[in-house]
């Protein structure tokens, strides 16, 4: 077997922590090699060492690429060698065109002048290769995340990459786009490009990878060839160091009466005149019930949630909201909170937390009046409230005075949850509650959700991870193109039935468009 890349005994320390400890990674020519591990296991650090983000000399160990030892001083060096990395946070310029982005820092130029015709001609060729039908003159900000991902790949191909590293490429993609991307990876493999795939989504790993390396706590646990004996459970066991018996905690639902209802809800796009985003949506929540909204990305789930939560999204919103059978009017977020609603955003970093502030400040934000004593904020109460939630939700932090920006994703999410639980809501809307969180922390979040439901609260969960929806929800609404297209109970729902529901609604509306090739 010929190895295109060999990383031997890589050790990288940051002040106080050993991020990588004698890690070995061997990637064979022309394979798709998956790198898996929990958050903080060292995957990204390893890839940063490889791509020259951490220059030679700041780590110990050796890297061989095509049997030659590599001494990368920066990213440019690794790119010139033929290694390209696509980070989880895409590095595209939103106000530049696709063509400009593909050849950014790699311009088609003669004597310092850029040949734009050549740029766009070659960009179009590359788009064809990655299967993206889009004008190369479109601005990045105007295309979807899925398409942006393809542009990133085209950009890497433009640099004649022999080894392409993808860090969580499908994290922000819906199922269809993910599927397309995975097919593209297989295609690239056929064209002779070696790929390293970093992913949390084990089903995808199993679908495309030829071999799998597991990292845990900065060390290589094992590398395995993909064959029939490799299962998700087997990988998870390697990742967490123990067998995870059940990924979703058991719960016996105690479902009460209807306590929240949205009727004939319509929302229009705030930017595009006359474009309806949410179409005649009707949903109902019972006390103590966990309800899921499944759907592809772009189906309008977040828009629905935000428009209900104090009209935070959209315009010309019409429809009725009923709580405990009585109609309520919600014009802004404050009124939503006062009416017992809480909304945990899908992006905790940009919309959920003030990262430069500490845990106690963040927990207080949505209910400051609950901390006021004689016109002033009672700091003792603020601290004791924060301490209480830290204990209850098992937030792992040095103290409640730690800045939330320093916490791991799972603990940040627990702080956001604390903030909303402190408002004593009756209805919690959780948008992607476990995105980017590792397996162990996910389980804890599910336990919290279950506990809230057991206390009689109604919970609406939006998630792009179908197993999660199926694992924790009592009832599932299926959303597509801004409509509720189906409703299934836990016992009758499956990934297949949900996808079928979505695809049927697509066909119903458009008479079978390009997407139908997905249903086979």
Partner 1 sequence: MVETVKVNTSNKTTYISGSVKTVLKNNIRQYAMLIALFTAMIIFQIATKGIFLKPMNVTNLILQNSYVLILAIGMTLCILTGGNIDLSVGSVCAFIGGIVGTLIINMKMDVWLAILIAIMAGALIGVWQGFWIAYVRIPAFIVTLSGMLVFRGLTNTLLKGLTLAPFPESFVKLSSGYIPDFSDVMGINIKVKDININITALVVGILASVIYVFLENKKRSEKKKYEMYIIPLPLFIAQLVFVVAAINVFFFYLAIHKGVPIILAIITVLLIGYSILTMKTVPGRYIYAMGGNEKAAKLSGINTNKVLFLTYVNMSVLAAIAGIAFTARSDAASPVAGVNFELDAIAACFIGGASAYGGVGTVIGAVIGALFMGVLNNGMSSLGVGSDWQMTIKGLVLLAAVAFDVISKSRAKA
Q: Which residues lie near partner 1 (CB under 8 A)?
A: 15, 309-310, 312, 332-334, 336-337, 343, 345, 350-357, 361, 364-366, 368-369, 372, 375-377, 379-380, 383, 399, 401, 419
Considering only CA atoms, which of 457, 443, 482, 444 is closest in space to residue 293?
482
Q: What are the helix (H) ranges across 345-438?
A: 359-364, 379-392, 409-421
* Exposed/middle/buried for residue 117 (C-beta within 10 Å: 0-12, 13-18, 19+): exposed
Residue ranges of E strands in 139-185: 163-167
Residue with Cβ nearer partner 1 (65 or 313) = 313
Q: Provide the minimum distance between the beta carbon of 420 and partner 1 in the complex, in angstroms, as a whole number.
A: 9
Q: Provide the minimum distance between the beta carbon of 309 and partner 1 in the complex, in angstroms, as a whole number.
A: 8
Q: Provide the minimum distance between the beta carbon of 487 and partner 1 in the complex, in angstroms, as a whole number.
A: 28
d(CA 400, CA 64): 45
Residue with Cβ nearer partner 1 (252 or 350) = 350
Q: Return all residues near 68 (Cβ < 8 A) that are at least 6 apart.
A: none
Looking at the DSSP bridge assignments, the partners of residue 484 are: 479
| Length of the chain, in residues | 520
Residue with Cβ nearer partner 1 (379 or 509) = 379
Q: Provide the minimum distance between the beta carbon of 425 and partner 1 in the complex, in angstroms, as a whole number.
A: 12
Q: Provide the minimum distance between the beta carbon of 179 and partner 1 in the complex, in angstroms, as a whole number.
A: 31
Is-contact 83 58, C-beta < 8 A? no
Looking at the DSSP bridge assignments, the partners of residue 215 are: 220
* Element of type H or E holding 9: strand 3-14
Q: Provide the minimum distance between the beta carbon of 406 and partner 1 in the complex, in angstroms, as a whole number.
A: 10
Q: Provide the minimum distance between the beta carbon of 182 and partner 1 in the complex, in angstroms, as a whole number.
A: 32
Residue with Cβ nearer partner 1 (113 or 375) = 375
Q: Provide the minimum distance between the beta carbon of 283 and partner 1 in the complex, in angstroms, as a whole number.
A: 21
What separation in angstroms does the CA of 519 have from each of 464, 470, 488, 516? 18, 20, 20, 6
Long-range contacts formed by 481-485: CB under 8 A, 24+ apart:
481/279, 481/299, 481/300, 481/505, 481/506, 481/509, 482/276, 482/277, 482/278, 482/279, 482/281, 482/299, 482/300, 482/303, 483/279, 483/280, 483/281, 484/281, 484/282, 484/283
Considering only CA atoms, which of 132, 449, 455, 454 is closest in space to residue 463?
449
d(CA 125, CA 131): 10
Residue with Cβ nearer partner 1 (114 or 368) = 368
Residue with Cβ nearer partner 1 (105 or 398) = 398
Residue with Cβ nearer partner 1 (401 or 510) = 401
What separation in angstroms does the CA of 79 have from each of 46, 196, 219, 450? 16, 15, 26, 47
Residue with Cβ nearer partner 1 (83 or 386) = 386
Q: Provide the minimum distance between the beta carbon of 474 and partner 1 in the complex, in angstroms, as a whole number.
A: 26
Q: What is the largest CA-CA distance in the chain?
A: 75
Residue with Cβ nearer partner 1 (177 or 382) = 382
Q: Provide the minimum distance between the beta carbon of 343 and partner 1 in the complex, in angstroms, as a whole number.
A: 7
C-alpha angle 451/461/277, rounded to 5°? 160
Residue with Cβ nearer partner 1 (401 or 489) = 401
One DSSP character per residue, 282-325 reads: EEEEETT-EEEEEE-TTSSHHHHHHHHTTT-S-EEEEEEEEETT
Is-contact 11 20, C-beta < 8 A? yes
**Phi/psi class of residue 117: alpha, beta or left (left: φ > 0; alpha: ψ in -120 to 50)?**
alpha
d(CA 389, CA 10): 39
Q: Provide the minimum distance between the beta carbon of 332 and partner 1 in the complex, in angstroms, as a whole number.
A: 7
Q: Provide the minimum distance between the beta carbon of 386 and partner 1 in the complex, in angstroms, as a whole number.
A: 10
Residue with Cβ nearer partner 1 (134 or 387) = 387
Residue with Cβ nearer partner 1 (65 or 343) = 343
Residue with Cβ nearer partner 1 (51 or 361) = 361
Q: Provide the minimum distance between the beta carbon of 392 and partner 1 in the complex, in angstroms, as a whole number.
A: 18
Looking at the DSSP bridge assignments, the partners of residue 258 are: 286
């Amino acid at each position: 077997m010929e190895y295109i890349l060999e990383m031997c005994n890589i050790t990288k320390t940051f002040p106080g922590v050993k991020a990588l400890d004698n890690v070995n990674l061997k990637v064979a020519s022309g394979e798709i090699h998956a790198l898996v591990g929990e958050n903080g296991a060292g995957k990204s650090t390893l890839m940063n060492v490889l791509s020259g983000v951490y220059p030679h000399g700041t780590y110990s160990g050796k890297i061989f690429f095509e049997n030659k030892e590599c001494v990368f001083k920066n990213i440019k060096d690794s790119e010139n060698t033929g290694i390209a990395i696509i980070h989880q946070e895409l590095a595209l310029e939103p106000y530049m065109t696709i063509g400009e982005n593909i050849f950014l820092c790699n311009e088609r130029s003669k004597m310092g002048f850029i040949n734009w015709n050549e740029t766009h001609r070659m960009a179009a060729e590359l788009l064809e290769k990655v299967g993206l039908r889009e004008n190369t003159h479109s601005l990045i900000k105007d295309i979807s995340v899925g398409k942006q991902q393809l542009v990133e790949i085209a950009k890497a191909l433009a640099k004649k990459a022999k080894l392409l590293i993808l860090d969580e490429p499908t994290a922000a993609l819906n199922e269809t786009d993910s599927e397309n991307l995975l097919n593209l990876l297989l295609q690239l493999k056929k064209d002779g490009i070696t790929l390293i795939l970093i992913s949390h989504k084990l089903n995808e790993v199993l679908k495309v990878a030829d071999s799998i390396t597991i990292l845990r706590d900065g060390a290589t646990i094992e590398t395995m060839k993909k064959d029939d004996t490799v299962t998700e459970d087997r990988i998870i066991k390697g990742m967490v160091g123990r067998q995870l018996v059940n990924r979703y905690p058991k719960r016996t639902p105690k479902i009460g009466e209807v306590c929240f209802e949205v009727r004939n809800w319509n929302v229009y796009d705030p930017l595009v005149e006359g474009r309806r985003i949410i179409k005649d949506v009707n949903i109902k929540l019972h006390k103590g019930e966990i309800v899921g909204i499944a759907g592809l990305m772009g189906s309008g789930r977040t828009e629905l949630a935000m428009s209900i939560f104090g009209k935070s999204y959209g315009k010309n919103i019409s429809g009725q909201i009923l709580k405990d059978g009585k109609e309520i009017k919600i014009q802004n977020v404050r009124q939503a909170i006062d009416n017992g609603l809480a909304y945990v955003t899908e992006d905790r970093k940009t919309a959920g937390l003030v990262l430069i502030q500490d845990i106690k400040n963040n927990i207080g934000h949505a209910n400051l009046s609950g901390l006021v004593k004689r016109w002033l904020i009672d700091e003792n109460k603020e601290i004791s409230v924060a301490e209480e939630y830290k204990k209850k939700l098992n937030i792992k932090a040095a103290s409640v005075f730690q800045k939330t920006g320093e916490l791991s994703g799972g603990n940040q999410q627990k702080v956001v949850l604390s903030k909303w639980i402190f408002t004593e809501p009756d209805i919690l809307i959780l948008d992607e509650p476990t995105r980017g969180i590792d397996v162990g922390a996910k389980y804890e979040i599910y336990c919290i959700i279950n506990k809230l439901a057991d206390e009689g609260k109604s919970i609406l969960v939006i998630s792009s991870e179908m197993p999660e929806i199926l694992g924790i929800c009592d009832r599932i609404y299926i959303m597509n193109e801004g409509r509720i297209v189906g409703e299934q109970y836990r016992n009758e729902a499956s990934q297949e039935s949900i996808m079928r529901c979505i695809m049927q609604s697509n066909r119903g509306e458009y008479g079978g468009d390009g997407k139908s090739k997905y249903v086979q």
